[in-house]
């Protein structure tokens, strides 16, 4: 294999696919990125057997000189971490890569590197996914779906289905739902689909969606989403993202979202976040990161207590207050995650009682909401 291409194009492609390179594995070849050069196409791919990413660079003969020149086709697998460090520091904007057997020579300007490659025939093949029927969603919309839900997945593998986000498509509505049994986040969007694409349900690993969000373009680029053969495939631009799905039945969470409330407040999420963050300075030292919210008609008192360190108390005023006074305790991190997921200027929080789950949602857009279970604590 012999190719010449732009350093920045190569570096961007390597940084994209390397999101699928494992940090730890018993198969050393998975630490590599596979290069495949054929005709006027260079394909880079990485696959850790759960997440796979592939991106394509194409030679454009209209540019002079072309940004990609394939002088001899071939393939090689190169260690991702060392390769990215090398490419990032190359002195010239052009890079020449020559492969002879498994020895790879990289030249740029007056710098020359020689790397030992790995046999591409031993690299696992990316999944084959039927892409005949799927959904089309703008990249920034897909990022919003992920950002508003994926942080609520379970970390523990005790219940594997809860480590994923439930994808549900029915009657033109795509819903993402995540819960770790202590909190829940859901986001709904309206989206068209091909005829016959109805009642689709799947569980996508939260880790996969977080990695997907890191490589998605932050604009309205169209993303095509396919579910088939126990795999998710997302294509955008010249990049394809693969993820396995989680087997199992997701719990029915619709019944736990309360339809009534005893106390409700509308409040600025930015200022409320700052108050909770200050109280959380001591909450970090208790088991459940507990902060107390003393809800009163005139103000809200926010406090946290650490027997070894001390106590923090702060008051703030909601924009509106409805219902009765109430004292509730909750996990500070859960509340902060929900508040930070809101991009609106006003959020509504509805409380049903000191021992019952409360709901946080946007005042302007009720398509997403967060539910948080309170923490039972002794008075102190």
CATH of the domain at 345: 3.70.10.10
pLDDT digits (tens, 9 = 90+) for 238-273: 999 999 999 999 999 988 899 899 999 999 999 999
Which of 211, 231, 254 is the last residue before a domain boundary? Answer: 254
Tell me: do 91 and 151 sit in the same domain.
Answer: no
| 131 or 368, which is more confident | 368
Among 9-23, 64-78, 264-278, 358-372, which is the least confidently predicted range? 64-78
Examine the domain organization and report whether 249 and 325 are in the same domain: no
Q: What is the CATH number of the domain that holds 244?
A: 3.10.150.10
Q: Taking each helix axis from N to C terminus, what angle separates 139-147 and 206-215, rounded to the nearest 10 degrees?
A: 140
Last residue within a domain, chosen from 122, 145, 172: 122
Contacts 24+ apart (CB under 8 A), 155-159: 155/180, 156/180
Total count of residues recorded for the chain: 380
Mean pLDDT of 72-96: 96
Shared domain check, 158 and 115: no
pLDDT tens digits, residue range 101-118? 999 999 999 999 999 999
In a domain, residue 130? The reply is: no
pLDDT in tens, 294-317: 999 999 999 988 878 888 999 999
139 and 215 fall within a common domain: yes
**Total tally of structural domains belonging to the chain:** 3
Question: Per residue in 133-184, pLDDT tens?
Answer: 889 999 999 999 999 999 999 999 889 999 999 999 998 999 999 999 999 9
Question: Which two three-digit tokens encode residue 128?
Answer: 């084959």
- Choose one of 96, 122, 148: the last residue of a domain: 122
What is the reported pLDDT for 63? 59
Residue 169, domain extent: 135-254
User: What per-residue confidence (pLDDT) applies to 67?
Assistant: 76
Residue 284 has pLDDT above 90, yes or no: no
Q: Are residues 295 and 359 in the same domain?
A: yes
Mean pLDDT for the stretch of residues 270-281: 93
What is the rounded distance in angstroms from the CA atom of residue 361 to the CA atom of residue 263?
A: 14
Measured distance CA(70)–CA(218) in Å, rounded: 31
pLDDT at 53 over 70: yes
Comparing CA positions, the residue from 218, 262, 248, 216 lying closest to residue 235 is: 216
* Domain assignment present for 380: no
Is there a domain that residue 377 lies in?
no
* 196 and 263 co-located in one domain: no
- Supply 23's token pair: 């940090």
Same domain, 207 and 311: no
The CA–CA distances, whole Å, from 175 to 146, 194, 199, 230, 248 equal 11, 17, 11, 19, 18
188-209 pLDDT, tens digit per residue, is 999 988 877 888 999 999 999 9
| Residue 54 lies inside a defined structural domain of this protein | yes
- 278 shares a domain with 172: no
Is 75 inside any structural domain?
yes
* Bridge partners, residue 79, by sequence: 32
> Residue 285: what pLDDT?
63
Same domain, 83 and 72: yes
7 and 116: one domain? Answer: yes
pLDDT tens per residue, range 5-42: 999 999 999 999 999 999 999 999 999 999 999 988 99
Residues 239 and 299 both lie in one domain: no
Domain identity same for 211 and 281: no
CA distance 104 to 98: 6
pLDDT above 70 (res 378): no
Mean pLDDT, rounded, for 124-134: 89
In a domain, 379, yes or no: no
The verdict on residue 321 lying in a domain is yes
Tell me whether residue 127 is in a domain: no
Average pLDDT, the chain: 92
pLDDT of residue 345: 85
pLDDT at position 11: 96
Q: Which long-range contacts (CB under 8 A, 24 or more apart) does 9-15 make?
A: 9/57, 9/67, 9/68, 10/57, 10/87, 10/95, 11/84, 11/87, 11/88, 13/44, 13/55, 13/57, 14/44, 14/80, 14/83, 14/84, 14/87, 15/84
What distance in Å separates the CA atoms of residue 99 and residue 192, rounded to the nearest whole number? 46
């Amino acid at each position: 294999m012999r190719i010449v291409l732009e350093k920045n194009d190569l570096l961007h492609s390597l940084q994209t696919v390397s999101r699928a390179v494992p940090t730890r594995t018993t198969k050393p070849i998975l630490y590599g990125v596979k290069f495949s050069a054929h005709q006027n196409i260079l394909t880079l791919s990485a696959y850790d057997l759960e997440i796979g990413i592939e991106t394509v660079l194409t030679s454009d003969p209209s540019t002079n000189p072309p940004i990609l020149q394939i002088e001899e086709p071939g393939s090689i697998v190169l260690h991702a971490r060392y390769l990215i460090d090398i490419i990032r520091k190359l002195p010239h904007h052009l890079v020449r890569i020559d492969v002879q057997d498994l020895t790879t020579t990289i030249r740029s300007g007056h710098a020359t590197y020689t790397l030992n490659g790995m046999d591409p025939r031993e690299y696992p093949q990316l999944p084959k996914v039927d892409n005949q029927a799927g959904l089309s969603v703008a990249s920034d919309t897909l990022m919003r779906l992920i950002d508003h839900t994926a942080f609520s997945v379970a970390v523990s593998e005790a219940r594997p289905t809860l480590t994923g986000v439930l994808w549900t498509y029915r009657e033109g509505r795509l819903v993402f739902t995540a819960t770790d049994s202590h909190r829940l986040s859901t986001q709904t969007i309206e989206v068209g689909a091909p005829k016959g694409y109805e009642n689709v349900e799947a569980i996508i690993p939260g880790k996969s969606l977080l990695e997907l969000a890191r490589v998605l373009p932050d604009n309205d680029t169209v993303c095509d989403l396919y579910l088939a053969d126990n795999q998710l495939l997302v294509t955008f631009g010249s990049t394809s993202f693969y993820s396995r799905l989680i087997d199992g039945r997701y719990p029915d969470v619709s019944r736990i979202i309360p339809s009534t409330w005893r106390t409700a407040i509308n409040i600025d999420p930015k200022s409320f976040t700052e108050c909770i963050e200050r109280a959380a300075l001591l909450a970090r030292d208790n088991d459940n990161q507990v902060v107390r919210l003393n809800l009163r008609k005139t103000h809200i008192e926010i406090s946290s207590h650490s027997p070894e360190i001390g106590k923090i108390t702060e008051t703030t005023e909601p924009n509106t207050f409805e219902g009765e006074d109430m004292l509730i305790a909750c996990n500070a991190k859960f509340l902060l995650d929900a508040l930070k997921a809101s991009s609106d200027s006003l959020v509504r929080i509805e409380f049903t009682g000191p021992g019952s789950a409360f709901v946080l949602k946007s005042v302007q857009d009720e398509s997403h909401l967060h539910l948080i279970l309170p923490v039972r604590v002794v008075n102190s």
